[in-house]
Structure 1
Amino acid sequence: MNKKLDRRKKYTRMVLKDSLINLLKTNPISAITVKEICKKADINRSTFYTHYSDQFHLLEQIEEEIIADLNSYLNQYNFEQEEEALQMTEKLLEYVVSKYDICQTLLNENADHSFERRVMDVARTFLIKNWMSNNEVDPDISEYASTFVTSGSIYVIKHWLANNMDQSPKQIARLINRVEITG
């Protein structure tokens, strides 16, 4: 009996998440209501409130899952040397490819910018650590330099997603790393 409830709970959360993601493709989060999410998911509003407090809470949970999954994916690899920066960037882009629909939606103009900031934090952790240690950057400006490099990388990724990933992850990784290394 407990397994059945678990599956039902997982299914409910999945359809609610999918419904919100579909609505985010055309509407900003501030314009989406719980009623719309429930209608699209064919779920009762009371069921929605059993799992989430509002649409912002649901979006936050989606973002947290993606960020945790991204961190877990990237932590599988050991990127300590400068020549591994390209591989790390490529792995990050391969992850984006594997989650294309949700990443494109969460990084589009209708999305809340919190996901973008969270991705920047992950990128800063994995990309900048290597870049900062291999470039002579004044510690007083390192935070500014890392923000500059990371935000530029995120916007390259957003542009790439908007163009339906018209280049391979390897090509985009080379571009990002070339800019980071010469920046």
Structure 2
Amino acid sequence: MKIYEFEGFPNPARIRIALAEKNLTDQVEFVSINVPKGEHQTPEFRAKNPSAAVPLLELEDGTCISECTAITEYLDHMNGDPTLTGKTPKERAKIHMMQRRAEAGLLDAVGTYFHHATPGLGKEIEVYQCSEWGQYQKDVAIKGMRYFDTVLADQDYIAGDKFSMADITAFAGLGFADFAQIAIPEDCANLKNWRARVASRPSLAA
């Protein structure tokens, strides 16, 4: 398998964490796509992923799978023992629900702020910016942090009592927030404690 990525970006980091959790890292060849230099916009890469986004999983038969959730689903079911996406219908539904909330209310919100209200990746990449929209999404991200703080007051992980892809997404969102200089509110002790605890997992510590 090949993973096309740009190391250090939050979404490729999500897949690296999932691979480490599943002990699959040594089964993957990582192919660097230099997004700041526009390599994701080449016809060759767009033929693999029309959305021109990383990460992208390419299987041995040439099948290409984009979107972190879809890639994680595939990896999680490779050995028939899913641990990141849930086993029962209820677990799967809750994980996917919370994963989407972590994506829309935290990771994507931070990304929108970064790409619209800051210089982002530079003028050659950021061809359109709306500062007002970016600033609004910063508030969405902070609201998302407060939401997850309340969730974590009653359970150990984002989607319940087990570490899942929802935790991976939320963790990546907070890392992106650090980079974009959006601080976790001081009174979000539950979220801070969760972050410190999951950061000690081997897949994240690496």
Calculate the TM-score normalised by the size of structure 2: 0.27
Structure index of larger Rg: 1
Structure with the bigger percentage of strand: 2
Calculate the TM-score normalised by the size of structure 1: 0.29
